[in-house]
Structure 1
């Protein structure tokens, strides 16, 4: 196993502080993804692309902070991101034919992900990175597997996808897709709350205990059968339009 620490190609964070809105403070959650590539991956080009992407997205190279009066921030401190590299000689090939793997299939994903230690974030550690990557080369099949663990305080699945899309473009020596990321947060003030909207947000207003939620979710794989759906770019754009247009992300319109 080899561990690389990849820094931004140029420091663009400059220790700026970005205060997080309440909806960002799901500190105990991270988005884990695995991408399987059927052919060779150039590790030097990958490290170059990652360093360029971190300069474009300095929030990702930052650290999570809790300051006095319960204000939460990300300090854009231009820290390096850990990338674990492993050569696997035991597996003949990627072990599943599933295109979409849910949280209930963690036994598939765990060996290929270096997961964010979210408990460290909850307890105020300033050493835990907000992004961890893992590259696994399956020597028998020639497949390469990229495991991504993304702290939810950075943003939702839509933000994660945009970061990875920029990484892909830099790897191919292409310019990232515009608009480029802007790291600002619209903070909600208590006196601005529109109480008339509460009936529409039952999942927030009537949220149950975490232990009850986990108990319910743990039985999903026994009750439901996985259904994989594919959407074209045009269909996703139409879905976003129906869900509220530019007021929501594509990720929000899917969920």
Structure 2
């Protein structure tokens, strides 16, 4: 195993400093992905391409700094990126199948990645690289495996893909796509956030409420609590059985909604978790689909979105200050969707191996689905025509229900699709 450092071909950072927004403060998170190529990646060509990419992306060639325990900064200081080279003589070929999403605890997957050391970042001073690459040559099959580790505060999956697509294009002597990247963030103010809802009840109102709720057989507090729950059930959780999915959480990308929120080409964590309206009919395909779409359109209204982002931004800052982390666990009757279907990772970072590059990542959760484009497949040594419009969906569910789900899916494939 050997390693080397790659610096920007032309220093363009000029020690400019970018303060991160609260939405960026996934300070212990990284994006780890793997690309598998059927033949060699030329090292000198990769070095040159990475060097040129870093000149366009001085933000990635930066270092972290924390000021006054509240201002999280990335200084564009032309910090080099490490690339590790490994020659593997043991494996006969790439060992995983064509499934894009694997288990997060798959030890084999992790051996192909040199992870960004997130615990070393924002510990002043820190020159720990924000991106790391690892290239493994599987000698027996002549395959090359490129493992990438990207520090999440740099930007979300779209930003990560944009960077590596630029690398892939430079490797192929192709100019990068437009627009060029913008790194400066909008910093949100607390007074832009949603305000708390305060409900006031007069004594007379509470007395009436208690009478309606059961009179002296209940307390005033019982009646008030029951009223709040009834209101929530009527408008949010109607027909709310224990396990029925009544609404969806969608991870929405807010790129392109408004230049005032995030401009085209901006490198940013531009994801927002959207809770849909309750489904009018949870047993109707069209009702569910229309409700989700209507909810997304409503959320992406810039006036609605600005206050929502400012609220989340403030909460993220508060969590980081208090060493707390977001709780991703769903509450009953929710199903989450985090889709990368709009991004064809294997195509956009193919280094010229059209329809022969395979893409891999890890992690999914209980009733938390992730969606990606299908990988290319081989029949022996022959590459099959790629289904570019297909999708892979992955999520976890109860063991005792999994077989029922799979059988129903197979039946639909045979009879209805």
Question: Which residue of the partner structure matches residue 373 of structure 2?
Answer: 230
Q: Is 1:84 the counterpart of 2:227 in the alignment? A: no
| Match of residue 206 from structure 2 | none
Residue 41 of structure 1 deviates from its aligned partner by 1.3
Question: In 2, Cα distance between the equivalents of 1:88 and 1:52?
Answer: 28
| Counterparts of residues 66-81 of structure 1 (less than 5 Å) | 66-68=66-68, 70-81=70-81
RMSD over aligned Cα atoms: 3.4
| 1:104 match: secondary structure | coil
Equivalent position of 1:176 in the other structure? 176
* Residue range with higher mean Cα deviation, 10-19 or 104-113: 104-113
2-structure distance, mates of 1:222, 1:196: 31
Deviates more, 1:99-108 or 1:83-92: 99-108
Deviation at 1:99, TM superposition (A): 3.5
Contact 2:6 2:83 in 1 (8 A): yes
TM-score by length of 1: 0.79
Q: Secondary structure at the match of 2:101?
A: coil
* TM-aligned CA deviation for residue 86 of structure 1: 0.7
The structure whose residues are more often helix, as a share, is 1
TM-score by length of 2: 0.49
Partner residue, 1:32: 32
Aligned to 1:43: 43
Map of 1:83-232 to 2, 5 A cutoff? Answer: 83-102=83-102, 104-195=104-195, 229-230=372-373
Higher RCO (CA 8 Å, separation ≥ 6 residues): 1
**Gapped regions of structure 1 (runs ≥ 5):** 237-255
Query: Relative to 1, partners in 2 of residues 1:102 and 1:157: Cα closer, same or farther, differing over 3 Å?
Result: farther
From the CA coordinates, give the structure whose radius of gyration is larger: 2
**Shift >4 Å, 4+ stretches:** 196-201, 209-214, 220-229, 231-236
Say whether 1:9 aligns with 2:152: no
Distance 1:89 1:82 in 2: 23
The alpha-carbon deviation at position 199 of structure 1 amounts to: 9.4
Q: Which runs of 5+ in 2 are unaligned?
A: 198-272, 276-307, 332-362, 375-386, 392-417
